[in-house]
Structure 1
């Protein structure tokens, strides 16, 4: 030591281990004792699951990484499964999904958003008035149902305000199952259509989706809102998806949607989602885009001859055109 100071050596240097001092391993625990559960709701990183008839709140185990867990997932859980207040279990495994319903924010958004898993029926809820029906939204949902392998069901609400005939004629060639309901409480056979199925209900805001759920499942207590008299748009009353047990099946209510992007669906699959037009495009020239300016497109001939519904052709072309326009603008 010289001048009150001494030379430093490696023993004087403290190095903090990166990522902790515990050795890492790729071997993950198997959790053979895990119990099966069904995810009924997701809220800020907490998962409400039904386990052997009990409602259990769980968090995701760290070893699962960044993968998403959504309503409808079948999962394996460990930890405190009593369901008592202030207890927390862990989701340690997500079982293979039978189906996945996805959407994107718009037709160019590369990020897919999984809405629900393991549903087998998509109930497309559309009001006949207040707000006005949106056939283009219905068409998008039908394409999404085709892509996910779900059976579509058209559910028309507020029949006491408007006649469903015109809208039903638009889809007459699809053999699309439908029910017509009213605000008087007439469910038009909807209960029978949903029994023993896992059905996800989708619709734009204000169509009466939460009202239907409250009629079907009185204990659901889903919030109900009014339609804005200026914009004609409904207020978002359901803020998150929730699965409700219903007659040996499930009803999954989802928040009202303003759009249903289909960036994750190829153009060919979009066309396949229009089964009344799919056969006609087989006569199109190779590489046909099926849009309004596509030379030799068979949709033009079919429409001119009256074999194809002009509104359906316009809807398909609008959908394909919007995807192409948005891609070119990005």
Structure 2
């Protein structure tokens, strides 16, 4: 039977890329009985039932899968945040990074709308953001109409399957239009009353860009941490994972000989990152048991 990769899911149909063409398919009912659902990014086996119509019969094992957005087999996530409208939010940024790290997906940080801030304000944002570069994350600044963005992003996207995610209204569709002007995706405006953007993207689709695949996704205001256990949380903070504490399984809260707390006190780990770690740890600890 033929095999391929689901590149788009829309209205109950799955569009499989195989041999340079897209085949429209539906999923077998057996997936519902198993509690499974095909995702964009899945490698699948399917049967042909018409000239360009078929049925998904098997889903190959996934290396990872995201729930929001619903997509599988991702290498990296382009986390898009604006420096204004909506304002740059470190707590939300750390939440997104933590959730993505929990899926073992590499975060790439893209800050948009840098042309809308005064120089002094922009320098303050850059000062905050520079910490993330110092701990190993790729960080890009851009704005609407940035002609250099393609050249800077192409090496990052090459041979990778990437997901594009972030709050509503931060400029994800604008960024994608810069990479692929022929898409002409509708861009949303910020609601002055709510201070947040309208959802402008209606489905998930993998698009070929720079010899890689890029998914455009709906905007979200938050990511959940249901897939992260408290014992694994510190591994989602890349700078914390570099330190070895006195006791195995140290939660970096009140334990003696904690190398992470010492690093925070010495300024080697940013205070805001540690504070956010404690907040997320409390959130996970208080989470209702799952059955």
TM-score by length of 1: 0.76
C-alpha separation in 2, matches of 1:137 and 1:82: 47
Change (3 A) 1:286 1:246: closer
Secondary structure, counterpart of 1:67 in structure 2: coil
Residue aligning to 1:142: 97
Deviation per CA, 1:170-190: give whole Å up to 9, x if none.
324311112211113245412
Instruction: State the partner residue of 1:202.
Output: 165
Aligned residues: 278
| Correspondence 1:60 to 2:27 | yes
Q: Deviations over 1:90-137 (max 9, x none)?
A: 11111222332345xxxxxxxxxx721112111111111111122223
1:56-76: per-residue Cα shift (whole Å, max 9, x none)?
Answer: 211112334441111111112
Give the deviation of 1:81 after TM superposition: 5.9
| Greater Cα radius of gyration, structure 1 or 2 | 1
Q: Which residue of 2 aligns with 1:230?
A: 193
User: Separation in 1 of the partners of 2:43 and 2:66?
Assistant: 15
1:98 corresponds in structure 2 to 63
Q: State the alpha-carbon separation in 2 of the partners of residues 315 and 146 from structure 1.
A: 15
Counterpart CA distance in 2 for 1:36 and 1:271 is: 39
Q: Does structure 1 residue 157 correspond to structure 2 residue 112?
A: yes
Unaligned runs of 5+ in 1: 1-33, 104-113
Is residue 56–residue 82 contact of structure 1 (8 Å, CA) maintained in 2? Answer: no
Please point out which of 273, 284, 290 is paired with 2:252.
290
Specify the SS of the correspondent of 2:115: coil
Structure that is richer in helix per residue: 2
Q: Distance in 2 between matches of 1:167 and 1:241?
A: 31
The reply on whether 1:305 has 2:266 as its aligned counterpart is yes
| CA distance in structure 2 between the aligned counterparts of 1:262 and 1:96, rounded to whole angstroms | 22
TM-score (norm 2): 0.85
